[in-house]
Amino acid sequence: MSFNLWMNSIAEAGRDLLRRSKDNKEDKDIKALCIDLCSNKGEAMGTALACAVVNAYHAMNEKQQLAFFKLLVSDYSPNSDTILRCAEAYKADTSQKNLQALDNAVEPPRQQLFRRINMSPTGTPTLVGMRADLQKYLKDHEDLRAVDNDLKHLLESWFNRGFLKIRSIDWKTPAHILEKLIAYEAVHEMNGWEDLRRRLADDRRCFAFFHPALEDEPLIFVEVALTHGLATAVQPLLAPQTNGQKPEPADTAIFYSISNCQEGLKGISFGNFLIKQVVMELQHELPQLTQFSTLSPIPTFCRWLHKELDNKDSSLINSKERKLLAQIDLENWHQDAALAETLKPVLMRLSAHYLHNEKRGAAPLDPVARFHLGNGARIEQLNWMGDTSKNGLKQSASILANYLYKLNKVEENHEAYINDNVVACSKKFKILLD
């Protein structure tokens, strides 16, 4: 019997107990159901109650969702008096018993509620969806961040690398999964099935992580192009195949799109594991590959640049350059060859500075740079007119970056970045800084 069938049989037994009980708990509101779920210790009844809570949550409108999240704060937060009392007891006597009592007091009761909800066969996807729903209320309801933190804490444990399975995605993959790749693509939008067919062609690879509790829901996927040498622009990679043109033998794997699929797993990183796993899969399948690199966006470069342009005291941009850079807000500026050539050295210098020197704390300001540098890649080069799509012009003034995963240097780069905030980069990139 499969795990899901076993879980469903327990749930059905529990539902039978509920139907035969004098106090039919399925008729209660979600507040009462949560109380019963937390107090019940039987597996079958507990599973049925978890299913009832799941069903009640899915039936909610936004107003009811917000009220439920507020309930999780008011009724399922730790008791401060109990925490202080246990802390004083532990301060007086640092015994294991007092430490355990303090640990129990600090843990929010809603974590136990979430674990009990997870007894439902659809508990895990419901909690992932619940955290996705929660995101839209956080801006106006700061108190709900505690709920978000607790959900993230549990989901990080449930979605650790040991539970994840990598799958190769190709044209033979079931259609309902392929449809989700089209929907979830976050870097370079797909315009239907023909775009997808190109990205699953013989000179392409696609890999995704899945979790047993979300069998047909990819968590994250990466698209790979097999090329000869480093790819410097994304439009040729996305263009339809040309008949009769024999490509040069591939020696490089280009990771050109990495898309997270589940909003409820926001902030839980899978990409670092995925890239390392994909490299191993590709090395096994295609031992002739000698380079592994990304072709990555610089998504917040233009946002930073406009702030720098607004700063009249900026030491990075002189008055002549300020007037010149104002023209990147013109539509189709990149199609004016003379203007583009004049802008190129200024924008390339500033984008190199941005990636290497602009910080959020001690880490790079750019989120893509943080990700790849943290995984042990180095900034290899910047590519002018790398992405001339509307989004590419808006985000990074057409510039893309290659982050090179030099396999014999990955661990060294990672350690230097984590311990000393060193931004690994090539000599070619350093010339732009100079």
What does the pLDDT average to over 329-349? 96
CATH assignment of the domain containing 222: 3.40.630.180
| Residue-wise DSSP of 74-115 | HTSSPPHHHHHHHHHHHHH---HHHHHHHHHHHS-HHHHHHH
Which of the following is catalytic: 211, 356, 372, 396? 372
**What's the whole-number mean pLDDT along residues 268-276?**
85
Exactly one of 120, 259, 293, 296 is catalytic; name it: 296
Annotated active-site residue 228? The verdict is no
Range(s) of the domain holding residue 356: 301-433
Q: pLDDT class for 290, splitting at 50, 70, 90?
A: very high
In the chain, % of residues over pLDDT 90: 83
Asked if the model's pLDDT at residue 132 lies above 90, the reply is yes
Find the distance separating the first CA and the last CA of the chain, reported in whole Å. 65
Q: Which residues of 135-150 are buried (b: 16+ CB within 10 A; e: fewer)?
A: eebeeeeeebebbbeb
Same domain, 218 and 314: no
The rounded mean pLDDT for the chain is 91
Q: How many domains does the chain have?
A: 3
Residue 376, pLDDT > 90, answer yes
- Is 175 inside any structural domain? yes
- Is residue 398 in some structural domain? yes
Domain assignment present for residue 292? The answer is no
DSSP 295: -
Identify whether 296 is a catalytic site residue: yes
Q: What is the pLDDT of residue 6?
A: 47
Final residue of a domain: which of 229, 249, 283? 283
- Between 29-43, 150-164, 207-221, 372-386, the lowest mean confidence (pLDDT) is in 29-43
Question: What pLDDT, on a 0 to 100 scale, did the predictor assign at position 21?
Answer: 57
Q: Are strands 252-260 and 220-227 parallel, antiparallel or unpaired?
A: antiparallel
pTM (2 decimals)?
0.85
Residue 316 lies in a domain: yes
Query: 314 and 277 in one domain?
Result: no
Range name among 237-241, 253-257, 326-330 with the lowest pLDDT average? 237-241
The two tokens of residue 105 are: 């007091």
Minimal CA–CA distance to 205: which of 171, 179, 176, 175?
171
Q: What is the mean pLDDT of residues 235-259?
A: 86
Q: Which amino acid, residue 417?
A: Y
Q: Is residue 227 within 8 Å of residue 202, measured between CB atoms?
A: no
For range 223-249, the mean pLDDT: 87
